[in-house]
Chain A
Amino acid sequence: MSTVTIIYAGLFYVATLLLVAGLAYKIFDYSRTPAPLKIPTTPAPTTQTGVVYRMAKEVVLFESLFKSNKWIWVFGWMFHFGLLLVLLRHLRYFTEPVWFWVNIIQPFGKYASLMMVIGLAGLLARRFLVDRVRYISTPSDYLMLVLLIVIGLSGIMMTFVVHTDIVALKTFFMGLMYFDVQPVPLDPILLVHLALVALLMLIFPISKLLHAPGVFFSPTRNQADNPREHRHVAAWAAKLDQKN
């Protein structure tokens, strides 16, 4: 087994472990931290069903962002929806036989990568061009976009320009999943693509990418507006009642 294979196999095991453990910890941490007061941004749904609907519109359509700024919404939605299709398409490298619906979205997923990169480029351009956004941008904000763009472009290269040995790649990942490490194809574009994906997985739980789980825990969006009908008290606050 080549050194490169050992490095990449190790990299993906570590990255997967940290991604899963890191996210699990963050989700556990958010869920154990109380929200002592009812603070939904109103008008808000008055029932839990309504909250699910509000959250779905937020996560699928980026409703608040749509109200806010059409440019960020267009680019942001292109990127995220493109990324979703691309990720789903990639399931074909991790399943045997490939699930039928993955085959259905395969052609869409291929072109979604273009949509994703255009969205990312738009977001990056805003960081340079809009003075207010430039003011708030940190180096990591730019690098995160660059990282995603390079992942996207290297993927596009392999999909549309210089095909890689996709059968060997699938053998490599299926091997990782069954703890039977197979050689990774020594294609430089593929190796760049894979290394950057692993990097993205590593930084996910310690970066602003936490907005993904975070949005579900946002009290202004996930609380029902029913404070007159139901008494809502956090455990640490309930202790105060007993002193009276």
Chain B
Amino acid sequence: MAAAEFDIPEIKDYIEVPKLREGAMAHAKTFIAPQAVQDFMGYPHELADNWKESALEKMGDLLGKYRSLKVFLDACVHCGACTDKCHYYLGTSDPKNMPVARQDLMRQVYRRYFTTAGKLFPKLVGAKDLTKDVLDDWYNYYHQCSECRRCSVFCPYGIDTAEITMAGREILNHIGMGQKYSNEILGKVQKIGNNLGLPGPALLDTLEGLEEDIEADTGVAVKMPIDVKGAEVLLVTPSADFFSEPHVESLIGYAKVFHAAGISWTLSTHASEAGNFGLFNGNYETMRKVAMRIRDAALELGVKRIVVGECGHAWRVAYSFWNTLTGIGYGADDPFSIELQKQLDPNYPQPQHICELTNDLIKSGQIKVDPSLNDDLIVTYHDSCNVARASRMGTEPGGQFTIPRELIKSVVNNFHNMADDTIYESTFCCGGGGGLLTDDLMEVRVKGALPRATALNNVVKEHQVNFMATICAICKAQFTKVLPKYGFDMSMVGGVHQLVSKAIKLD
């Protein structure tokens, strides 16, 4: 904990767009990854003499591989539509946290070295040489973006700052400026199997303890199976679910759902993590390597279905990228994917979100719930950014909004939405996503949570809301840490399956 003291922003009645204060967050710099961490990832750990050439070479490489990057760097007209959309700008007033300005940190270099206009008239078009100062700006401000895509909703060309941030981090890694937090986690997940670095025996021990707790609590022997070959469902969930509060309450909820529905299921030690920080770093191959653990486990255990627990960015990777990266899905015609796809049960979406599964079971009457058991709660729902703007549930666009709400309303009697411009596709990030959930970025995290805290405060005042449900491990960890700074009780945050867990009827 080396984070400096800072003022906690004051919650107002409405989310205000602040006047800009240049350099307000220039000091916020996340810890650089040390040598051992970078070595494992195959990156250098310090700048070499030719860092500038390496950076530009990597940028050229990415421009050739990603149409998004090329089009987004060209297309922006500086209209300003995105300038008041980022929660980090709203919370910090630092103009470099405006999406367009964050993009311009890279765009100025792109124009200088990759465009005719920038080569001929750099001053005119805002092109700049790649200097150490520019590089430091990249490092600081590409780690003050949670890649939540809110800006991309509002951009007339769909420019997604997340794509620029990812490319920026990939270039930084490539020349030796990796982020300690994300890269350490990427090491742990590849070496041990999960982001927390929880080894197999410890995991088994934890699950046994949870089984005992559930039995003591309910009198029913609900199991938490792991590495069971031939199970129908492989459940892949964020490792925080195994022992963080309030995450574990949702894990108990999933176990009860499988038990009540009589579905055989298993966890996997090899794939004991749904999260995939390869997304945050923008490295396709890393993301693929981390995702391959799920494919390997599915093949090894011979499961028919793959279900994903409550985790926002994990669901983005699972829903949007697993088919591409590993063949988990349908519609492939290549031997690599067919090997897995012929094993999976075509009656279910692959992968399936736990909310899709539970909601279907409740609607079809296969499991019974009693919402009055949650009558002590007045609930609101925080749409997690990656679920809202980078994935779907069910068969219709927008199912990612309706299905979790349907599920919540079936297990609680009191539900109120937050303000329209803070939910659904306009939802505000919790402030801790995209690899920022680290103590050395606490100021960024607290200030970035201001818009969500403001919206929450309004439903607390108006409807006496006392519980905010969400389906993301990062949101849960972030909110329990930062909401108390705004005067909220940390126990008012929890998972949707925490609510299911309380309402479900077990035999």
Contact = CB atoms under 8 A, between A and B. Distances in A.
Nearest to A225: B392
A76 B292 CA distance: 46
Contact of A42 (B154, B292, B395, B400): B400
Contacts, number: 234
A227 B329 contact: yes
Interface string B277-290: 00000001100100
Contacts of A64: 81, 153-156, 158
A123 B75 CA distance: 17
B163 interface: yes
B337 interface: yes
- Max chain B C-beta neighbours (<10 A), residue from A26, A29, A33, A58: A33
Nearest to A205: B116
Contacts of A241: 327, 334, 336-337
A20 interface: no
Interface string B91-108: 000010010110010000
A214 B98 CA distance: 22
Contact of A140 (B64, B124, B401): B124
A33 B389 contact: no
A206 B95 contact: no
B337 A68 contact: no
A230 B101 CA distance: 36
A211 B78 CA distance: 11
A229 B337 CA distance: 13
Contacts of B81: 64-65, 68-69, 72
Interface in B40-79: 63-68, 70-72, 74-79
A211 B76 contact: yes
Given A37-B320, A136-B101, A42 B425 contact: yes
A104 interface: no
Nearest to A58: B156
Interface in A215-229: 215, 217-221, 225, 227-229
Nearest to B334: A241
A118 to B, nearest CB: 17
Contact of A137 (B66, B78, B157, B324): B78
B412 interface: no
Interface residues of A, number: 68
Contacts of A218: 68, 71-72, 75, 157-159
- Max chain B C-beta neighbours (<10 A), residue from A29, A220, A242: A220
Interface in B269-307: 284-285, 288, 292
Contacts of B74: 26, 208, 210-211, 214
A233 B332 CA distance: 10
Nearest to A26: B74
- Max chain A C-beta neighbours (<10 A), residue from B71, B78, B400, B401: B71
Contacts of B349: 228
Given A208-B77, A231-B337, A240-B285, A132 B83 contact: yes
A21 interface: no
A140 B78 CA distance: 10
A7 to B, nearest CB: 22
Given A33-B70, A38-B320, A215-B75, A228 B330 contact: yes
9 contacts: A26-B74, A29-B70, A35-B66, A43-B401, A46-B395, A64-B154, A126-B80, A133-B80, A136-B83
Given A34-B65, A228-B329, A231-B331, 10 more contacts: A42-B388, A42-B392, A45-B397, A132-B20, A133-B80, A138-B78, A228-B330, A228-B350, A231-B327, A240-B285
Closest 5 CB pairs of A and B: A138-B126, A214-B75, A68-B154, A220-B158, A43-B397
